[in-house]
Amino acid sequence: MELNLKNKVFIVTGGSKGIGEAISRAIAAEGGIPVIASRSIEATKNLIADLQKQGSESYAVLGDLQEEAQCKKVVQKTIKNYNRIDGIVNNAGVNDGAGLEKGPEAFRRSIQLNLFHYYDLVHYALPYLKKSKGAIVNISSKVALTGQGGTSGYAASKGAQLALTREWAAELLPHSIRVNAILPAEVMTPLYRKWLDSFDNPSEKEARIIANIPLEKRMTTSEEIAAMTVFLLSDKSAHTTGQFMVVDGGYVHLDRSLT
């Protein structure tokens, strides 16, 4: 399927590792230009170099998106280089384990880490998204729907991302800007691997998780999240907005008797 992304410009936050890297690669594979907004210097340099070897154009803006000024800088540099923004993929964040017992300060830091830049980046990019009739994809999490325990800040942020998805979809209807969210569940990323390795028996923990995934008893891949992302960015999903796409092999919604 031709997604018509050629030469279109998409900002991807956290776009050099894990799900974000897969999204950047998928955009490039479709002929689009990923602008990678990340604070991971080496990973970003390596990805840019690899995409260049493959003949794909990309661009990086390095810095901490927790700073409002950095979000503004990402937009300004993108416009300076390409004079257009066709879409935003809000992806950067981390499950930092800021639960109830960690206290108010940790909770506030978690919200800052995982939520505010979603708003800030879209705010500064909005004039250009209006011009292009662009698309926004917010990467949320199953935790927004299910809870997990011990991660109040992350769960609150992910729930807020879903609320913003519907709110922005409504607000931006007059400008034909579509806004959707993707909710991954169990995806094997470097951060997920690090979490598994924190257990005494990582293989046993991983096996227990996989046993609860109905479809094919396997984890979702980053590439499968990326495939849904580029579809939602493309004009092939031109009448899809305000939706929560749960790409998880049935983990959240199918009957527990299946596992």
Residue 55 has pLDDT above 90, yes or no: yes
Residue 223 has pLDDT above 90, yes or no: yes
**In sequence order, what are the beta bridge partners of 34?**
10
For the domain spanning 9-187+222-258, the CATH number is 3.40.50.720
Three-state DSSP string of the chain: CCCCCCCCEEEEECCCCHHHHHHHHHHHHCCCEEEEEECCHHHHHHHHHHHHHCCCCCEEEECCCCCHHHHHHHHHHHHHHHCCCCEEEECCCCCCCCCHHHCHHHHHHHHHHHCHHHHHHHHHHHHHHHHHCCEEEEECCCHHHHCCCCCHHHHHHHHHHHHHHHHHHHHCHHHCCEEEEECCCCECCHHHHHHHCCCCCHHHHHHHHHCCCCCCCCCECHHHHHHHHHHHHCHHHCCCCCCEECCCCCCCCCCHHHC
Catalytic residue numbers, as ranges: 154
Rounded Cα distance between 103 and 175, Å, is 41
Give the confidence band of 258 by pLDDT, cuts at 50, 70, 90: confident
pTM of the model: 0.96
Give the confidence band of 58 by pLDDT, cuts at 50, 70, 90: very high
The encoded tokens of residue 177 equal 């800007």
**pLDDT reported for residue 140:** 98
Question: How does pLDDT run across 162-215, given as a tens digit for each residue?
Answer: 999 999 999 999 999 999 999 999 998 888 888 888 898 989 999 999 999 999
Question: How does pLDDT run across 165-176, given as a tens digit for each residue?
Answer: 999 999 999 999
Calculate mean pLDDT across residues 128-155.
97
Domain ranges in the chain?
9-187+222-258
Give the confidence band of 108 by pLDDT, cuts at 50, 70, 90: very high
Residue 71 has pLDDT above 90, yes or no: yes
